[in-house]
Amino acid sequence: MNALLALFGVAILFVIAYLGVDVLGLHSLFGIVLPYAAIFLFLIGFVVRIFQWAKSPVPFRITTTSGQQKSLNFIKSNNLESPHNTTGVIGRMALEILFFRSLFRNTKAEVKENERIVYGPDKWLWAAALAFHWSFLIVFLRHYRFFAEPVPEFILKMQAVDGLFQVGTPIVFLTGLILLASVTFLFLRRVVLPQVRYISLLADYFALFVIMAIAISGLLMRHFYKVDIVGVKELAMTLVGFKPVVPEGIGFIFYVHLFFVCVLFAYFPFSKLMHLGGVFLSPTRNLANTNRIKRHINPWNYEVKTHTYEEYEDEFRDVMREAGLPLEKES
């Protein structure tokens, strides 16, 4: 049901792009106004969201160790899995962000015959997530060729590797196919596995469908309904220079692609996609396990009123002496 609703939403977005561009001919709305609005929303929304998170207190270290903590010298400690200094934390964060270390630990539970529950490794989610995120990053970076003149050398190098097999004209980029395949896998996983379907929300499906729509429209534009690519770059460059002009005659499929990208950018700060920024703020990953090595004092502890024995004796010394009680200090 959630998946159908999300699909319906994406279909409506397509109809909006179709009506707006093909029927009403609102090229400057879809080519200029919406991209600016979307990127503005994205930047402001992203910063606001990060500041909201940054304001939350982090008084204590949350340690989720999966390695031996640093203690005595003769006990071998694992500084990547249970870091005790900044180097270790940077290592753990790098493993997490670049290679999804936590997801690699993913397990599945299955009920076998005679109702025995068996746990086993499950690397499919990790593999698909890694393929998805990396190919999306490379696809994103490849688009830099439309926003930079002259096109930077590393983009051209990346394209050369990406199109290694030189299939078709224009050359098929591997990452484009991997992106579509992996996002499809991640969607099917949500639908096929009953447990995952149970916890899947509208927002989960919507993000997947929008990304799927972007990938499909992009591939269609590159390989089937080709558009005037020079015109596309002209538009992109004028947008970057804040003197936007929409060139005539860019194909309709381009506006569909652009509209879905705008939707993704605008939706980004309000969605779970914010894990792009959020992963850096994960307290279980970015805080060193120094609970024992260092003393951490709760910063909002109030001043506790104390009355030590010395002060007590000072206050009641005369009375105590009269009563014949023993004193630590005589005067």
Partner 1 sequence: MYDAGKIIAGLVIFLVLVTSPMWYKAATGTKGEAPELKYVTESKVCVAETEYMKAFHMDLLNEWRDDVVRRDDRQYEGLEGKVYEKSLSRTCMSCHSNKDEFCDRCHDYAGVSVYCWDCHVEPAEVQ
Q: In whole angstroms, give the CA distance from residue 10 to residue 164.
A: 33
Determine which helix (DSSP H) or strand (DSSP E) holds 50, and give its type and residue range: helix 34-54
Angle between helices 202-223 and 2-17 (to 10 degrees): 40
Interface pick for partner 1 out of 58, 137, 167, 201 (rule CB under 8 A) = 58
- Please report how close the Cβ of residue 20 comes to partner 1 at its closest, in angstroms: 22
Q: Give the tokens for residue 10.
A: 């994406």
- The answer to the question of residue 233 lying near partner 1 (CB under 8 A) is yes
3-state secondary structure of 312: helix
Q: Compose the 273-312 pattern: x for residues touching partner 1 by CB under 8 A, - for all others.
A: ----x--xx-------------------------------
Stretch binding partner 1 (CB under 8 A), from 130-138, 183-191, 236-244, 256-264: 236-244
Interface pick for partner 1 out of 188, 240, 325, 327 (rule CB under 8 A) = 240
Q: Give the tokens for residue 320.
A: 């105590």
Stretch binding partner 1 (CB under 8 A), from 95-103, 174-182, 222-230, 300-308: 222-230
3-state secondary structure of 107: strand
Q: Compose the 158-197 pattern: x for residues touching partner 1 by CB under 8 A, - for all others.
A: -xx-----x-xxx---------------------------
- The answer to the question of residue 44 lying near partner 1 (CB under 8 A) is no
Cβ–Cβ < 8 Å for 226, 257? no
Residue type, 140: F
DSSP letters, 13-45, are: HHHHHIIIIIIS--HHIIIIIHHHHHHHHHHHH
How many residues bind partner 1 (CB under 8 A)? The answer is 45
Q: In whole angstroms, give the CA distance from residue 248 to residue 229.
A: 12
- Please report how close the Cβ of residue 196 comes to partner 1 at its closest, in angstroms: 31
The residues that touch partner 1, with contacts defined as CB under 8 A, are 42-43, 46-47, 50-51, 54-55, 57-58, 144-152, 155-156, 159-160, 166, 168-170, 226-231, 233-234, 237-238, 240-241, 247, 249, 251, 277, 280-281
